[in-house]
Amino acid sequence: MSPAKSLDVSGGVLDTNAAAEYIAVTAGTLRYWRSTGQGPASFKLGPRKVGYLRSELDRWLRAQIVEGEVAARVRANGKTKHKR
Query: What is the C-alpha to C-alpha distance for residues 14 and 8, in angstroms, rounded to an integer?
Result: 13
pLDDT of residue 2: 41
pLDDT of residue 57: 97
Strand 43-46 to strand 13-14: parallel, antiparallel, or no bridges (unpaired)? unpaired
Neighbouring C-beta atoms of residue 8, cutoff 10 Å: 9
pLDDT of residue 17: 96
Q: Tens digits of per-residue pLDDT, 15-73?
A: 999 999 999 999 999 999 999 999 999 999 899 999 999 999 999 999 999 888 888 88
Domain residue ranges in the chain? 13-76
Q: Tens digits of per-residue pLDDT, 3-14?
A: 445 555 556 999
pLDDT of residue 8: 53
